[in-house]
Structure 1
Amino acid sequence: MGLYQSVRAVTTASGDGPVDWNSVADAAKASTDPGSLALTRAEEAGYADDVRDARDRVRAVAAVDFDLPEMVEIQNRHHWIDANVATFERVMRPLEEQVTMFPGASRVVNTGTMSVALAFLGNNVLGQYDPLLLAESDDHALYFVHPNIRKVADALEVDFQRFRRWIAFHEVAHAAEFGAAPWLSDHLETTMEGAVAALGEGTLDREALKELDTTMTAVEGYAELVMDRAFDDEYADLREKVEARRRGRGPMARVIRRLLGLGMKRRQYERGKAFFDAVADDRGIAGASVVWDDPANLPTDAELDDPALWLARVGE
């Protein structure tokens, strides 16, 4: 494991497409310490208890019908990279299929770029609800990257069990959204495919990108609302410590976060939460949950900044 193996995997990228996905996985894992999965029985039980408790609390508070994904995994960093390189490949496939001639040097650059992105995320993702977009099956999955949760809890000097439970509640809140809205995965896939297809034709589909942004703002904001109402403890200190840690990262980490759009995700959290807080204050959390009854109930870009417009348009 190390820099040499990572560079070698990238520079020997091969194949006919613009990205050698096998080399992406090899390079990302070569530069990433997998971390330990030596869990005690109590820790294994703790994850299971947190997920079950989160499911029950979210069901009760949000009044939405959903169940947990069949696949709930405690992973190390290499497991997470393997699971997500397949998603990256599926999302990029429409673009790759439209590229007929690609010099080998460009393939190396693309492979290196993707491997850096996956390695960075593999070292930082704590938990993930994965709707497995563009997969051939309708399966969903829930991942917890145990070495990262342990590392961050230690770095922030917070109780590991409390921090782990907070992560579990947030990811289960996402499971609630997709469970309550069976149409949501298809909606995201269709919009994403349109945006990627336009890129393959050398154009930018701004409407598709705006639709993706507004939908993901609703997804992130609703999860934040549910977290506020369902989590059985105060967590403002956890949020502040996590944000302070992000702000304190070095320049390279900040550049990578910007390139990956992670700053945009923070904005989606804040903007979406402000929208759903206003809706829930007016109609309660059950009233806010009707956003998942139908695609037409998703807020528009304008409504996200003026919840009164959505309240006037969408009945209780």
Structure 2
Amino acid sequence: MIDWNVAVQTGTRLVRPGPQVSQAEAREVVEELRGLSRIAQGHVRKFTGIDGEQNPAPATIVDRPGWIRANVDGFRVVLEPLMERLAENRGSGGLSGGPAGAVFQAVGSRVTGMQVGAILAYMASRVLGQYELFLPPDPSGRAPTGRLTLVAPNIVHVENELGVDSHDFRLWVCLHEETHRTQFTGVEWLRPYVQEQMTAFLLASDLDPAAMLNRLREAADAVVDAVRGGDSSLIDAIQSPEQRKILDRLTAVMTLVEGHGDYVMDAVGPQVVPTVAEIRARFQGRREGGSRMDKTIRRLLGIDMKMKQYAEGSRFVRRVVAEVGMDGFNQVWTSPETLPTHDELREPASWIARVVGTPAITAPPSRNGTGPKPDAADDNDRSA
């Protein structure tokens, strides 16, 4: 289905080089990011009230090719159930066999590998960091199931372009990513739930050749629409009807998770990141810019839509915390049943009535009284 070696080779060949720095400067950036990731751990745990992984390792610092290789490893883990389904279909005669079929599959997997590599090359110059949920299993069983990764060249590039304080910006990014580590290590059911939904999404793929051809036609139409300035994305175009239902659940939980990260990175307060307001304003202005081609690619890959969803998640978190406090908001992590629906993300009072079950009260946005006001701008992404 996908030649992963080709994906890595293509991605690392196409990715743009990062900013030019000396070896001494590079070592300094790596060491500071590792240290700041540890500092962020304490701030996030104290502010959110969530007990995450105890004594977690500092962040893994990578360059752009390293990010590509890490994500290919993650894709292989995520797609394993679908690979097994395809193998079963081949064994039962569900897919074409024989020498001709083998040649077709080999060529097709290389083409798909190049496509995946090209997308990863584009993303590798934009992503500042991520919490990697899916890693190849550790034979010893001692390694953690997830890993916090920061892309040093992208962080340096963005802080230079924005002209912001480098220490504050790096800590600001670490606060966001450490929030994700805290979420997925402190809420024991969250990672299995996301993995379960992703597996269901993949297994709902329609492997019938005629249906797959129809998906490809819809994908081509999406490309044309995006180039013309429309809102179509490849992700929407290639889904089966059953996948759309599953993706709604995935989108809801990821909107919450990302919105929570955005809220925390701003709300921890100026005592921790003195120039947070300036960083947010400049970062937001940069995100809304870009060339026409860049905006087209972002629409096509669904990045712009994702950012709108994350802003919605941040508004939800901010308003719930303002009404019922952090302890009331943290009831969202009780079980999958206490996650907000799409409608509740837009109407937080509905979630409060259903889950918290108490009249809304006026409470400070955080335990230390800091944080953005209820109507503060919060649209953010981790892309450069």
Which residue of structure 2 lines up, in the alignment, with residue 94 of structure 1?
81
Shift of 1:52: 2.1
Deviates more, 1:73-82 or 1:43-52: 43-52
* Change over 3 Å in CA distance of 1:133–1:240 after alignment to 2: farther
* Cα distance in 1 for residues equivalent to 2:324 and 2:126: 36
User: RMSD of aligned C-alpha atoms?
Assistant: 2.4
Q: Secondary structure at the residue paired with 1:129?
A: strand
* Cα distance in 1 for residues equivalent to 2:59 and 2:278: 27
Give the counterpart of 1:80 among 67, 89, 98. Answer: 67
**Does the 8 Å CA contact 2:60/2:150 hold for their aligned counterparts?**
yes
* Cα distance in 2 for residues equivalent to 1:277 and 1:298: 15
One-letter amino acid of the structure 1 residue matched with residue 329 of structure 2: A
Which residue of structure 2 lines up, in the alignment, with residue 177 of structure 1?
183
Q: Secondary structure at the residue paired with 1:144?
A: strand
Shift of 1:292: 1.4
Which residue of structure 1 lines up, in the alignment, with residue 117 of structure 2?
115
One-letter amino acid of the structure 2 residue matched with residue 166 of structure 1: W
Residues 151-190 of structure 1: CA deviation (Å, up to 9, x unaligned): 1111122222221111111101111111221111111111
Give the counterpart of 1:204 among 223, 241, 260. Answer: 241
One-letter amino acid of the structure 1 residue matched with residue 122 of structure 2: F
Which residue of structure 2 lines up, in the alignment, with residue 190 of structure 1?
196
* Change over 3 Å in CA distance of 1:42–1:178 after alignment to 2: same
State TM-score, norm by structure 2: 0.71
Residues 48-75 of structure 1: CA deviation (Å, up to 9, x unaligned): 3321221111111111111364362111
**Does the 8 Å CA contact 1:69/1:142 hold for their aligned counterparts?**
no
Shift of 1:307: 1.0
Which residue of structure 2 lines up, in the alignment, with residue 10 of structure 1?
none
Shift of 1:34: 5.2
Which residue of structure 2 lines up, in the alignment, with residue 222 of structure 1?
260
One-letter amino acid of the structure 1 residue matched with residue 112 of structure 2: N
Deviates more, 1:160-169 or 1:26-35: 26-35
Q: Secondary structure at the residue paired with 2:59?
A: strand
State whether structure 2 residue 263 is matched by structure 1 residue 277: no
Q: Secondary structure at the residue paired with 1:314?
A: helix
Unaligned runs of at least 5 residues, structure 2: 87-94, 212-239, 358-384
One-letter amino acid of the structure 2 residue matched with residue 191 of structure 1: Q
Unaligned runs of at least 5 residues, structure 1: 1-17
Deviates more, 1:84-93 or 1:103-112: 103-112
State TM-score, norm by structure 1: 0.86
* Cα distance in 2 for residues equivalent to 1:111 and 1:44: 31
Residues 281-307 of structure 1: CA deviation (Å, up to 9, x unaligned): 111122212211222211111111111
Shift of 1:96: 4.1
Residues 137-162 of structure 1: CA deviation (Å, up to 9, x unaligned): 75211111111111111112222222
Greater Cα radius of gyration, structure 1 or 2? 2
Paired residues, what number?
A: 299
One-letter amino acid of the structure 2 residue matched with residue 29 of structure 1: T
Percent identity over the alignment is: 33
* Cα distance in 2 for residues equivalent to 1:81 and 1:97: 24
Q: Secondary structure at the residue paired with 1:199?
A: coil
